[in-house]
Amino acid sequence: MSINNSFSIKLVLVRITQLFVGGLFIFSGLVKMNDPVGFSFKLEEYFSEEVLNLPIFEPLALPLAILLVAVEVLLGLSLLMGVWKRFVLILLSAMIGFFTFLTFWSAYFNQVTDCGCFGDAIPLTPWESFYKDVVLCVLILILWSGENQIFDKVPRFISTVVMSLGLMFSIWFTYQVMNHLPSKDFRPYAEGLSIIEGMTLAEDLGLEPPKFEVIYTMENDRGERQEISSSQYINEKWWDKTEWTMLSELSRTIKVSDGYEPPVHDFSIMNDYGDITDSVLSLDEVWLLVAYNRPKTSKNGWQKVLPKLKILEQNNTPYLILSASMPEDFIDCGYRVTMPFAFTDETTLKTMIRSNPGWVVLNNGTVIKKYHHNDSPK
């Protein structure tokens, strides 16, 4: 093969890689920019004591999420236009190197079930996220090897205008979704979706559910440890092996085969009288005021939803305040003991609506409308 042919093949490979990586970074950034609050929840998971044990960074999760998605979009634009090549490649390498480590850690220890790389739009398993990052590492190495072949003929004036517009759009779009709701809701509680249908089990749909195994850590009298599956424990009658003791605190659950999983899970509404989930989902109309965590509830936002609460009471329209906090925690926000209050899992409430507080309106279990507290109907 001639030198010219080799050069041409490498040039084409580098240019295709440039387009693919640049486009992927823009897409990934925009998807997460659509829901920076959701991405911050994912970062909080990584920073938690159970994963990376960096709780000091948890309060910074939201500003970090906003910064990372904006940088991701701007890096994608820079790469597509070939501006600041060396600087962009260094930043791309640093980001991908960090996230490759993060996704490997998540996959190997099975601690964060979805990296949030593409938000809720394209959920990936931990290993899928890791393999995706490995491929990106290879592609960035191709860009490094062909740095001089990266397309960089965009006039400086045009690249400056594009980067400026990209930055302004990122600021405007982030402001919009932070002060209202995501422009596109990819979660199972989106408007028009039925919570009841979302909770239907695989068996009821005639589908195969996923299968799980519990991995036990056993220790013998000599201090030796061995991991066994729950099926091994039963088939091999490990309870009869008196020299072995189960270390229950080290037990973990793994998925051994895929199957249909209901998109809505861990959804329940509890009050002092018990589980009222079915009763709430059967109402023709009910307004749910979601406030997942009192310390993190916007006091200004609470004042914006109080007028609607009064209107609902006057019209005898069913409503319910849902939170993972105690009702007395909301007294300073204007809560009264006569207001109907119920408990729901905090993670579920975070998934339902990206507003704290925020409205979710149901009709026979179907989400009819959702309102950020800034858009609370008067």
CATH of residue 321's domain is 3.40.30.10
Tell me the range of 209-223, 250-264, 325-339 where mean pLDDT is highest. 209-223
pLDDT at 28: 92
The answer on pLDDT for 143 being more than 60 is yes
Domain edge (last residue) among 179, 201, 228: 179
**Does the structure show a pLDDT above 80 at 51?**
no
pLDDT, position 374: 95
Q: Is residue 202 part of a domain?
A: no
* Average pLDDT estimate for 233-260: 86
Is residue 197 assigned to a domain?
A: no
171 has pLDDT over 70: yes
Please report the pLDDT score of residue 106 as a whole number: 79
The reported pLDDT for the residue numbered 265 is 84
Cβ–Cβ < 8 Å for 198, 263: yes
* 154 and 28 within one domain: yes
C-alpha atoms less than 13 angstroms from C-alpha of 329 in its C-beta half-sphere: 15
Distance, in Å, from the CA atom of 173 to the CA atom of 167, rounded to the nearest integer, reads: 10
Residue 330 has pLDDT above 60, yes or no: yes
Residue 345 tokens, joined: 């899992």
Whether residue 29 is contained in a domain is answered as yes
pLDDT of the residue at 7: 62
Q: Are residues 253 and 357 in the same domain?
A: no
238 plus 312 within the same structural domain: no
- Are 40 and 168 members of one domain? yes
Beta bridge partners of 271: 274
Domain count, the chain: 3
In a domain, 205, yes or no: no
Name the strand (E) or helix (H) holding 370: strand 366-372
Please give the C-alpha separations between residue 21 and each of 109, 122, 138, in angstroms, as whole numbers: 28, 17, 11
Is there a single domain that holds both residue 369 and residue 342? Answer: yes
Which pLDDT value is given to residue 117? 66
Mean of the per-residue pLDDT values of the chain: 89
Render pLDDT for 97-137 as a digit per residue (tens, 0 to 9). Answer: 988 988 888 777 766 666 566 667 777 878 888 899 999 99
Looking at the fold, whether 242 and 339 belong to one and the same domain comes out as: no
Residue 28 falls inside a structural domain: yes
Percent of the chain with pLDDT over 70: 96
Report the distance separating Cα 114 and Cα 345, nearest Å.
19
pLDDT for position 113: 65
Distance (Å, rounded) from C-alpha 217 to C-alpha 211?
A: 20
CA distance 295 to 272: 22
223 and 340 inside one domain = no
Looking at 257, 288, 315, which one is the last position of a domain? 257
- The least confident of 17-21, 55-59, 75-79, 369-373 is 55-59
* Residue 370 predicted with pLDDT over 80: yes
List the structure tokens of 136. Answer: 């990106």
Taking the mean position of all CA atoms in its chain, how far away is CA 244?
A: 40
What is the pLDDT averaged over residues 360-376? 96
> Do 326 and 370 fall into the same domain?
yes
* pLDDT value for 332: 78
| Joined tokens for residue 23 | 């486009």
Tokens for 214, please give them. Answer: 């519990």
For the chain, first and last CA: distance in Å? 73
* Same domain assignment for residues 235 and 284: no
Does residue 72 sit within a domain? yes
pLDDT at residue 319, as a whole number: 95
Q: How confident is the model at residue 269 (pLDDT cuts 50, 70, 90)?
A: very high
Let me know if residue 193 belongs to a domain: no
Shared domain check, 230 and 111 = no
**Residue 190 counted as domain residue:** no
The average pLDDT across 240-258 equals 85
Average pLDDT of span 162-173: 96
Domain hosting residue 96, numbered range: 3-179
157 and 22 within one domain: yes
